[in-house]
A and B are shown apart, each in its own frame.
Chain A
């Protein structure tokens, strides 16, 4: 399906390309929501923002990603309340979109090579990761229910990775439809080592963290040190619930993880996660969804704590939204809430809805469950709301236009 927006709201593809040329060095923030997607174009100072949207109004958009290898290709993971899931692709920064010829879909049960396994269908593509810099055209996707997919042609056609999707052990670890988030268990946090395109990680909520050193042919579990909900057995991989895992760009041996049960760090080749969230203030705790790493400083990261007490309200603790940061790999934490609502703000931030740009100082962005887009131009010291009244925000990504 080719989608072209109304002429009244959009310029032609030709003039869009012109806009892209004028946008040298400008920031672009990609916002995916429960009811469509918006692109926010910033000026070089990141002070004023121009909204381009809605794209796919009414579609449930879980993720929009820019391909950093060409600086102009966008992929969007979308479905509607009625229609099945698909992926849209734009090669002109959202001027026009074309549907993937073969979106992520599981193997038919009879053709999976595992006749004992129940055939599954993708409910939605949840996560998109551009491949290694040396592999233009390669993308990875994570789905709900949990599945891992790869495209070798820039997102036009997608193939399931049977080493995960049809592996009886992995299928057991994925658990049932009930072993996941309210809108379905998800495969997410697909990470690629910038030093080695065959070295991959992904995480499942639920189902643990996993690593491959052979391009996805075989996988090893990486959950040692991670805690599970009280009363459950951490030896059972299904019970592990990583919410978001990030790799430090300047030190790919260091990963940080926001888990259902705390904040963790690991420094490979060590195989044990360390719960650095224990140093967070007790009344805030270290439960949350997003995890953001600094583009240049592997000791620096940001999290957005939420209330994980009693019935798991998943709101800002005590209605007081705040970002927390560490400058020393999790030894100590500081609260960053200047500019955020001082009281009675009961929203929170989902696992894909907080991100950093690569500028200096780093710009931070997060989108809320209540449809507000917040930004900081100074690494979290001061926050400003740059858009409100959007639908529930599912994902926020920042890119510098090449």
Chain B
């Protein structure tokens, strides 16, 4: 499925905005993303499997808070950075 990569993570994806990755759940999708782009997962999910505080995940336009959220092959996943910081 297609995954939108936010600008701060495009150094991992050769500056690609949309990339292909697969998984039956959001967690599995992020594992696949990390296999393709090593290191990307830890920047957005911490070592206790928590979404980092200023990173947001959307599936088909709806914000998702659960890494166990199931995904269908045609789903569209957006990873975005929260409007926070200074």
| Chain A residues at the B interface, C-beta cutoff of 8 Å | 1-3, 80-84, 86, 99, 101, 103, 105-109, 119-122
Chain A residues within an 8 Å CB radius of B55: 82-83
Interface residues of B in 1-21 (CB under 8 A from A): 8-9, 11-12
**Pick from B45, B46, B85: contact of A82, CB under 8 Å:** B85
Is there contact, CB below 8 Å, between A1 and B47? no
Q: How far is the CB of B14 from chain A (nearest CB, A)?
A: 10
- B65 contacts A by Cβ under 8 Å: no
Chain B residues within an 8 Å CB radius of A121: 46-48, 50
**Pick from B11, B45, B49, B54: contact of A3, CB under 8 Å:** B11
Q: Which residue of A lies closest to B13 (CB)?
A: A1
Determine the distance from Cα of A231 to Cα of B42 in the docked complex, in whole angstroms: 42
Determine the distance from Cα of A398 to Cα of B9 in the docked complex, in whole angstroms: 31
Chain A residues within an 8 Å CB radius of B54: 81-82
| Chain B residues at the A interface, C-beta cutoff of 8 Å | 8-9, 11-12, 38-40, 42-50, 52, 54-55, 81-82, 84-86
Determine the distance from Cα of A83 to Cα of B40 in the docked complex, in whole angstroms: 9
Determine the distance from Cα of A109 to Cα of B52 in the docked complex, in whole angstroms: 17
Q: How far is the CB of B43 from chain A (nearest CB, A)?
A: 4
Determine the distance from Cα of A122 to Cα of B52 in the docked complex, in whole angstroms: 11
Chain B residues within an 8 Å CB radius of A108: 47-49
Is there contact, CB below 8 Å, between A101 and B38? yes
Q: How far is the CB of B27 from chain A (nearest CB, A)?
A: 14
Q: How far is the CB of A382 from chain B (nearest CB, A)?
A: 37
Q: Which of A83, A107, A108 has the most CB of B within 10 A?
A: A83
Is there contact, CB below 8 Å, between A83 and B8? yes
Is there contact, CB below 8 Å, between B84 and A1? no
Chain A residues within an 8 Å CB radius of B84: 81-82
A sample of 9 cross-chain residue pairs with beta-carbon separation below 8 angstroms, ordered by A number, consists of: A1-B12, A80-B8, A84-B42, A84-B43, A86-B39, A107-B47, A119-B47, A119-B48, A122-B46
- List the 4 closest pairs (A to B, CB-CB), nearest first: A81-B85, A121-B46, A105-B47, A83-B43
Give 17 new A-B contacts, CB below 8 A, not counting A83-B44, A86-B43, A121-B46.
Answer: A1-B11, A1-B12, A80-B8, A81-B54, A81-B85, A82-B54, A82-B55, A83-B8, A83-B55, A84-B42, A86-B42, A101-B39, A105-B46, A108-B47, A119-B48, A121-B47, A122-B47
Is there contact, CB below 8 Å, between A99 and B8? no
Chain A residues within an 8 Å CB radius of B86: 81
**Pick from A84, A99, A105, A120: contact of B52, CB under 8 Å:** A84
Determine the distance from Cα of A122 to Cα of B50 in the docked complex, in whole angstroms: 12
Is there contact, CB below 8 Å, between B11 and A84? no
Q: Which residue of A lies closest to B85 (CB)?
A: A81
Is there contact, CB below 8 Å, between A82 and B39? no
Q: How far is the CB of B10 from chain A (nearest CB, A)?
A: 10
Q: How far is the CB of B34 from chain A (nearest CB, A)?
A: 11
**Pick from B8, B11, B12, B47: contact of A106, CB under 8 Å:** B47
Chain B residues within an 8 Å CB radius of A83: 8-9, 43-44, 52, 55, 81
Chain A residues within an 8 Å CB radius of B50: 121
Chain A residues within an 8 Å CB radius of B12: 1
Q: How far is the CB of A375 from chain B (nearest CB, A)?
A: 30
Determine the distance from Cα of A1 to Cα of B13 in the docked complex, in whole angstroms: 9
